[in-house]
Every structure is written in C-alpha cells, then in structure tokens.
Amino acid sequence: MMPKTSILFCAAMLVASAAHAQDRGDTSSPEYVEARQRLQEGKTLYGQGNIDGARLKFEQACAVLKTPACQRALGLSQFYTKRYLEALGNLQRSLDDATLDTVQRKQVTDLMQQAYDKTGHLEVHAPAGGHVRIDDTIDAGNAPLTEVIHVTVGSHNVSVTIEQKTERKTIECSEGKVLKVDFTDRFPQMGNDGHNGNPQPIDEERKKMFPPPTGAIVTGVVGLVGIGLGIGFGVASGDANSTNLARGLGAGGVCSSNPSSQLCLDAKSTRDAQQTDALISTIGYVAGGVALVTALVWWLAAPRKVIIHKATVTPTLGPHTAGAAFNFSF
C-alpha cells in the first residue's frame, strides 16, 4: 500500500497541475484574477499540509472558475478532509479535463472509488414526473431518474411528490451500498406519465338465489344420495326380515333342538344381513338428512354472488375530437 506521504505528494502534484491548467484560461476580469489568486493560495496551503485551509481557498476559486481543473483541486482537498460526498461529485466532474494524462486520470478514478465506498447510494423508482427530494434539502429532480443519488452514510428521508400528494420513506444507508427505494406502490392510480390514469370500472356485487351456490348443490346431491342409500338398504332389510319370519313359521321350533341345522344357519345369516342393512339404512337416512339441511341453510344464508361490471365514462380530447369514451370490463 502506498504510504500516506506519497499519496499526499501525488495529490499535491495533481493540485499543482490543476492550478497550472487553470492559468491557461487567462482573463483580465477582476473576478477571474481574484479566483486565480485564491486557487494559487490554495495550492500553497495544500503543499504546506494545510488541507482544510486549501479547501476553503479552492471553494472560493471554483465559485467563479467552475472548470474541471479547479474542481479536481477542490475534490482532492475535500477527499483528504473526509468530505467524501462532495469529493465524489467534484472528482467526477474533473474527469472532463482533457489535459489529464493517464496517470493523473487513474489517480482521480482511484480516489473516486474510495469516496464511493465511503458514501451511500439510492436508486429511486417513482412514477414519471414524480419530484424526488432527499431530506427535504436535496432536489434530485423528476422521475424517472437515470442515475443513483449519492448521500452520506446514515438515515435519510426520501420523498416523492406528484401533484398534491407527497409520500415519504426513511432509509438507512451504509457504506458503498446501493439501496433501491420504490414508490410505485404508493401511487397505484398513476399512469406512466405520473398523472391519474383512466378510472377503473366500478364493479357491483349482487346476490342471486338461482341457481344456488355450487357448494350447496354438491352438498344437496350428497344428501340425496345418502337418503337413497337409506331407502335401498331399508327395503333390503325389510325383505330379509320377512324371509326370516316366513322361515321361522315353517321351522316348527327345530332351531331350539338343533341350532346347527342348515335351516337355522341360513336363518342366522339372513338375520345378520338384515341387521347390517338396517344399520346402513339408518346411517344413510341420518347423513343424507344432515347434508340436505346443510345445503338448504347454505343456499339461504349465502346465495350465489354475481359481479356486475359497469361502464365508465372517460372524457376524451384531441385535435379533431371531443367527447366521451365508454369502457367496459369483462
């Protein structure tokens, strides 16, 4: 790493070249004569190690001169007094100096990178035409912004104003990081030009008794199936019971003396089937009845909802037309 004394020496050489380059633009006006004097004084102070004093002189000079050479001298003094945000801007503008050689240009760009790493950066997205400000003091211009906004490290308040509406966000910036700040969600009704777009169609919700809601229909069908099963198995249970009664009348009490006879075994099998059918029939009736009642309550309490899309009327103006446009949404 280059020692600090070597770095300051290189910076002093850059300052000297800046002053020399400025002298080439000689002018006889008193303001420019004084500005050149302040620039020379700043160079002397810089060479003596009084960087902050030199910075003040360079600021006075650049207020009049406004050239890349003067901005380079000012940017260098700002960098070495840890005013990284100001240094970044002035060093950036100083690269427009055509007299910079390759070595000098690299020295400037290296310092710019170091200043960039010491500052925060905001990438602001907002509807076109939105006026962007930082901390209510920095005017960043109107969206869309093509470049990031350089800020000091720490907390900043970002605001976007469109017509009479202002939205704000507080952002915590850290060194060398680019933070995206998106305001498009704060202006949902704004079109691409930053003004109110066409109004959305107004939807009206109505309740409709017929046909019933799909869920109620499905539940009702399940209920009918359950009752149908109850009826079917009830009939089967009744038939099995009648068969057993007839078999018992013809058995003449044989099952009491010989329960293992084929007649008694058949009677037992029929009785078991009859009881199973009766149980299934009962379950079918109960479940089907509950499902039908549920479907009926569902239908009455929550009828089908129907969305009706209404037309909107949008005034239209043009060089050859004036009137209204009717928009429908489906």
Q: Which tens digit of pLDDT belongs to each residue from 124-165?
A: 999 999 999 999 998 999 999 989 999 999 999 999 999 888
pLDDT value at position 82?
Answer: 94
pLDDT value at position 87?
Answer: 93
Q: Which residues contact 46 (CB under 8 A, 6 or more apart)?
A: 11, 12, 15, 54, 73, 76, 77
206 and 146 Cβ atoms separated by less than 8 Å:
no
173 and 114 Cβ atoms separated by less than 8 Å:
no
Q: Is the pLDDT of residue 10 over 60?
A: no
Q: Which tens digit of pLDDT belongs to each residue from 35-93?
A: 999 999 999 999 999 999 999 999 999 999 889 989 999 999 999 999 999 999 999 99
Write down the mean pLDDT value for the chain. Answer: 78
CA distance 61 to 75: 13
Residue 254 banded pLDDT, cuts 50, 70, 90: low
Q: Which tens digit of pLDDT belongs to each residue from 186-221?
A: 888 775 544 444 545 555 556 666 667 777 788 878
**Which residues does residue 120 pair with via DSSP β-bridges, in sequence order?**
151
User: Is the whole-model pTM more than 0.85?
Assistant: no
pLDDT value at position 317?
Answer: 41
Q: Which tens digit of pLDDT belongs to each residue from 281-299?
A: 899 778 878 877 887 776 6
What is the Cα Rg of the chain in Å?
A: 45
Q: Is the pLDDT of residue 322 over 70?
A: no
Closest by CA position to 285, among listed 220, 224, 216:
224
Q: Which residue has the higher pLDDT, 107 or 291?
A: 107
Torsion angle of the four alpha carbons 18, 21, 26, 30, in this order, in degrees rounded to the nearest 10:
-10
Residue 194 has which token pair?
């930053």
Q: What are phi and psi of 144, to 5 degrees?
A: -80, 140
Closest by CA position to 76, among listed 101, 37, 110:
110
pLDDT value at position 133?
Answer: 95
Q: Is the pLDDT of residue 304 over 80?
A: no
91 and 4 Cβ atoms separated by less than 8 Å:
no
Closest by CA position to 119, among listed 174, 76, 179, 181:
174
pLDDT value at position 24?
Answer: 45
Residue 273 has which token pair?
């089937």
125, amino acid identity: H
pLDDT value at position 265?
Answer: 72
Torsion angle of the four alpha carbons 137, 141, 146, 152, in this order, in degrees rounded to the nearest 10:
0
195 and 129 Cβ atoms separated by less than 8 Å:
yes
pLDDT value at position 44?
Answer: 94
Closest by CA position to 125, among listed 155, 145, 151, 150:
145
18 and 40 Cβ atoms separated by less than 8 Å:
no
CA distance 2 to 211: 84
Residue 51 has which token pair?
């960087």
Residue 255 banded pLDDT, cuts 50, 70, 90: low
Closest by CA position to 291, among listed 225, 232, 219:
219
The pLDDT of 95-117, averaged and rounded, is 92
274 and 245 Cβ atoms separated by less than 8 Å:
no
| SS3 label, residue 315 | strand
pLDDT value at position 243?
Answer: 76
Longest dimension (CA), the chain: 146
